[in-house]
């Protein structure tokens, strides 16, 4: 098996697996006062300190959740409700047009059920939210905005956003700023600063931890209504019995991933660049989506800076390519039959027959958007994985192109 879908989930790191199984073998509810409970509480608080340390946050800022989706929901709903309660006129919610469905579906619900006015911030051809775009949206009526949310790095095309600039603009107008950093955490530097985001979503299973645990880093003093009510755990922001084993494994994975990130980002970027170069040699018509690679004058379809190596404009492990004349689902299944696993975009949208909303927002036409694949690399990726993909991609694209041409001919004939 050649695994090129680390953007969906990545294998657990040995340190995380060891921490996870060690705690699973023990008994104790971190909210209990007896010895077993105190032992579990100590594990949770030590893990909180570890995670806060790699993020540059205070331990009290870290609120453990069940994963990235819950953290996004908690941030957006919690901030919106809190702001509306304090100032009923704050109904506008500004989010980028290329957000993960965990954000887009949440704000859609706020619009339908909670009287929010949702505005999608346009992106350029590389998938970047330009600071002047956010500034213009805020300046129209800053006192009506409840919250702004822009993801740190896109889960499909890997574009890294100018988060520091965007957060500064939001703060200038007195608006809290949330970012979904699930894809960015562990690949590029993510730090909590006074000028940065007020709330940051991170998740364990993208960095080598277990599925089912994440965190929302919430700046101290930021008012936020809870989603769940009960035991008052996690500063009364997220009630519920804590997943002690998951929290311990999350901290172990974060410590390892962030310690290795400076060297690992260089390694992954080199593998990624080799993947793109060699796939294009086999399929010259293939188009790279998102920020271009260093020294790549074409195929990037947009600005965003150099993007090469571990640079600031593209995640080092992301290669998102369009294969004109092909259907992404066909390519995915043909590669899967050869033992190569990748994605057509977000795993949360897998099986949904619709073009990528990210590519459409970037100005890619629907036909091209349907013919795209995401190859995402991680800590277990090696050069042999690239070799396997390169050996398979030519024949797979040729077969998918023939199938697409036949389908087009059949559709044309049936319509006459």
* pLDDT tens readout for residues 5-14: 999 999 999 9
Give, as one character, the DSSP assignment of residue 291. Answer: S
Angle between helices 244-282 and 383-414 (to 10 degrees): 70
Rounded average pLDDT over 283-298: 82
Distance CA 216, CA 163 (A): 17
- Does 289 fall in a domain? yes
* CATH number for position 378: 3.90.1150.10
Do 250 and 384 sit in the same domain of this protein?
no
- Does 171 fall in a domain? yes
Residue 230: predicted pLDDT = 93
Name which of 385, 181, 160, 378 is nearest 269 in CA terms.
378
286: tokens are 């293939």
Do 135 and 156 sit in the same domain of this protein?
yes
Q: What is the pTM of this model?
A: 0.92
Sign of CA dihedral 388, 394, 398, 400: positive
Task: Indicate the pLDDT class of residue 47, thresholds 50, 70 and 90.
Answer: very high
Distance CA 88, CA 46 (A): 40
Task: Indicate the pLDDT class of residue 353, thresholds 50, 70 and 90.
Answer: low
Name which of 342, 344, 363, 365 is nearest 353 in CA terms.
344
Distance CA 64, CA 191 (A): 17
Strands 214-218 and 62-65: antiparallel
pLDDT beyond 70 at 352 = no
Whether residue 13 contacts residue 259, with contact meaning beta carbons closer than 8 Å, is answered with no
Instruction: Show the domain range for 29.
Output: 14-254
- Total length of the chain: 416
- Does 8 fall in a domain? no
- Give the tens place of pLDDT for each residue, 296-351: 643 333 333 333 333 459 999 999 999 999 999 999 999 999 999 999 965 555 55
Distance CA 133, CA 121 (A): 7
Do 145 and 286 sit in the same domain of this protein?
no
- For the chain, how many structural domains are there in total? 2
pLDDT beyond 70 at 411 = no
Name which of 217, 170, 216 is nearest 56 in CA terms.
217
- Give the tens place of pLDDT for each residue, 70-89: 999 999 999 999 999 999 99
Distance CA 229, CA 138 (A): 33
Q: Is 326 a catalytic residue?
A: no
Pick the catalytic residue from 258, 326, 342, 348.
348
The whole-chain average pLDDT of the chain stands at: 91
């Amino acid at each position: 098996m050649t695994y090129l879908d680390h953007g969906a989930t990545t294998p657990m790191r040995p340190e995380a697996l060891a921490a996870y199984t060690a705690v699973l073998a023990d008994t104790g509810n971190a909210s209990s006062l007896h010895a077993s409970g105190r032992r579990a509480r100590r594990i949770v608080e030590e893990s909180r300190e570890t995670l806060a340390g790699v993020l540059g946050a205070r331990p009290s800022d870290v609120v453990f959740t069940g994963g990235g989706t819950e953290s996004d929901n908690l941030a957006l709903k919690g901030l919106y409700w809190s702001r509306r309660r304090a100032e009923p006129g704050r109904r506008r919610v500004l989010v980028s047009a290329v957000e993960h469905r965990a954000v887009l579906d949440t704000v859609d619900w706020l619009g339908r059920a909670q009287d929010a006015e949702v505005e999608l911030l346009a992106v350029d051809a590389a998938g970047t939210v330009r600071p002047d775009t956010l500034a213009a949206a805020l300046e129209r009526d800053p006192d009506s905005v409840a919250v702004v949310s822009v993801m740190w790095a896109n889960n499909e095309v890997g574009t890294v956003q100018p988060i520091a600039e965007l957060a500064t603009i939001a703060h200038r107008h007195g608006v809290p700023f949330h970012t979904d950093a699930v894809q960015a955490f562990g690949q590029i530097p993510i730090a909590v600063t006074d000028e940065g985001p007020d709330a940051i979503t991170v998740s364990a299973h993208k960095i080598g931890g277990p599925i089912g645990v994440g965190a929302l880093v919430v700046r101290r003093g930021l008012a936020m209504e809870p989603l769940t009510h009960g035991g008052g755990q996690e500063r009364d922001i997220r009630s519920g019995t804590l997943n002690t084993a998951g929290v311990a494994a999350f901290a172990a994975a974060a410590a390892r991933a962030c310690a290795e990130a400076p060297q690992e980002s260089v390694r992954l970027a080199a593998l990624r660049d080799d993947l793109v170069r060699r796939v294009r040699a086999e399929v010259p018509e293939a188009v790279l989506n998102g920020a271009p690679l260093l020294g790549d004058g074409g195929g990037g379809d947009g600005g965003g800076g150099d993007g090469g190596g571990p640079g600031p404009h593209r995640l080092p492990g992301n290669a998102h390519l369009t294969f004109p004349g092909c259907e992404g689902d066909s390519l995915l299944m043909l590669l899967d039959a050869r033992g190569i696993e990748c994605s057509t975009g977000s795993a949360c949208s897998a099986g949904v027959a619709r073009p990528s909303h990210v590519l459409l927002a970037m100005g890619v036409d629907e036909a091209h958007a349907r013919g795209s694949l995401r190859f995402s690399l991680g800590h277990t990726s090696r050069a042999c994985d690239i070799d396997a993909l390169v050996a398979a991609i030519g024949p797979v694209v040729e077969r998918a192109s023939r199938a697409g041409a036949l389908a087009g001919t059949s559709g044309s004939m049936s319509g006459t």
